[in-house]
């Protein structure tokens, strides 16, 4: 059994995989990291290997704790990867995006794949049918847009994401929901449409914390895989353990 750790901008995801099967998943904050990992170690006592990818902050004592309890591997921009990375500035590329491309290699090798990760940020990552990663785009996520409207204005309230009742908001609250949610949906659809001009056989994967919130109202057909990043990390760890 393997412990998979994804340290994001907002939360930390912990998962246990066995032979490619996801057995357990938990979303935590850093202040519960030690107790959560200790509980996993107690419950899944055969787990002695782990992998971590981090775009957020994890304290050095947390890494020390992991090294004391597991054979720890790390996904980084210098890792040897099973695809060609054509990103112009590879050392600025988030390892979360690398993990998503790894999952694409596992599930959709030699296909044109656009991966949309709807989390704190919305990232677009494209890998072609030659297994070449070309890059993509980054834009603000749903919650970040709600926070921005509140933080950069004097009177607009801070709201939680909610599906708008109508395209025409008949109150300030409904106007915010309409503007943000329809704006994000139109952005996703617009980006997909532009990719499809050049890649008619495009496979679109939607993942991330907000994927299920968004998928029902997208016009284009997408494959929704909420645990795509975790699967990419598990795949990379399998490669490390077999080489």
Annotated binding site for substrate: 87, 94-97, 172
What does each C-alpha distance from 48 to 44, 68, 73 come to in angstroms?
Answer: 9, 10, 11
Catalytic residue among 46, 96, 201, 238: 96
d(CA 241, CA 51): 11
Separation of first and last alpha carbons in the chain: 18
Known binding residues for ATP:
6-13, 120
Q: What are the tokens at 136?
A: 């993509």
Helix (H, G, I), strand (E, B) or coil at 165: coil
H helices of 155-206, in order, are 172-177, 183-198
**Is residue 25 classed as helix, strand or coil in its secondary structure?**
strand
Q: Under a CB-based contact definition with an 8 Å cutoff, are residues 73 and 54 in contact?
A: no
Annotation says 46 is catalytic: no
Residue 49: CB atoms within 10 Å: 14
Sign of the torsion formed by the C-alpha atoms of 238, 240, 241 and 243: positive
* Local structure of residue 130 (DSSP, 8 states): T
Residues ≥6 apart with Cβ < 8 Å to 169: 175, 176, 177, 178, 179
Catalytic residues: 96
């Amino acid at each position: 059994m393997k412990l998979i750790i994804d340290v994001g901008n907002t939360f930390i995801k912990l998962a246990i995989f066995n032979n490619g099967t996801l057995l357990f998943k938990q979303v935590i904050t850093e202040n519960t990291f030690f107790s959560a990992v200790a509980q996993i170690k107690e419950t899944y006592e055969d787990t002695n290997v782990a992998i971590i990818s981090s775009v957020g902050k994890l304290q050095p004592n947390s890494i020390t704790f992991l090294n004391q309890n597991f054979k720890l591997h790390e996904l980084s921009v210098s890792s040897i990867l099973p695809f060609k990375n054509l990103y112009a500035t590879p050392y600025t590329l988030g390892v979360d995006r690398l993990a998503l491309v790894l999952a694409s290699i596992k599930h959709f090798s030699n296909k044109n794949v656009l991966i949309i990760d709807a989390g704190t940020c919305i990232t677009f990552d494209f890998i072609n049918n030659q297994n070449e990663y070309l890059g993509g785009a980054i834009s603000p996520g749903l919650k970040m847009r709600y926070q921005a409207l509140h933080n950069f204005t004097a009177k607009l309230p801070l709201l939680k994401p909610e599906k708008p009742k109508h395209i025409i908001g008949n109150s300030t609250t409904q106007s915010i929901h309409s503007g943000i949610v329809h704006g994000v949906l139109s952005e996703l659809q617009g980006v997909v449409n532009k990719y499809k001009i050049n890649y008619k056989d495009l496979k679109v994967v939607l993942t991330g914390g907000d994927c299920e919130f968004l998928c029902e109202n997208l016009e284009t057909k997408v494959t929704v895989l909420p645990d795509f990043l975790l699967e990419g990390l598990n795949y990379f760890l399998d490669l490390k353990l077999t080489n």
